[in-house]
């Protein structure tokens, strides 16, 4: 259990990045861009929003948030398994990274990538 503390901290960091991302999307979009929370993919999503779909970005971000909560829950549960199944953790992170990339959640994508490196190395120290 001690050995997983660093991975748990990594998930906590990922959770914080997600929270920062959501705050950035909902309240400080231009600031989020400047601070590196979002990338050009988010700008492309904004360009798809029009009078016919005035809540498009909000709906996409809400779906992302719901999926993210599920991914983080699954990751937390997997971190409690002994021995750790790094392939399963890597798969969850790969899915989370793809979801993050699709909406331009740059900071979350970076955290996912780092976590995947630890999984592929079988590194419980993170």
Task: Report if pTM > 0.85.
Answer: no
Q: Give yes or no for residue 90 having a pLDDT over 90.
A: yes
Neighbours of 100 (CB within 10 A): 28
d(CA 118, CA 30): 32
18 pLDDT more than 50: yes
pLDDT the model gives residue 107: 86
DSSP 49: -
Instruction: Read off the pLDDT of each residue in 84-97 and give the average, rounded to a whole number.
Output: 95
Q: What is the mean pLDDT of the chain?
A: 80
């Amino acid at each position: 259990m001690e050995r997983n503390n660093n991975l748990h901290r990594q998930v906590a960091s990922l959770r914080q990045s997600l929270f920062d991302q959501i705050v950035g999307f909902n309240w400080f979009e231009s600031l989020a861009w400047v601070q590196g929370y979002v990338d050009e993919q988010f700008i492309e999503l904004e360009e798809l929003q029009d009078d016919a779909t005035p809540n498009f970005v909000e709906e996409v971000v809400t779906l992302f948030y719901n999926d993210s909560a599920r991914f983080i829950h699954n990751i937390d549960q997997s971190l409690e398994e002994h021995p750790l199944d790094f392939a399963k953790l890597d798969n969850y992170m790969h899915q989370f990274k793809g979801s993050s990339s699709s909406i331009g959640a740059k900071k979350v994508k970076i955290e996912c990538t780092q976590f995947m490196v630890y999984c592929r190395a079988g590194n419980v120290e993170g």
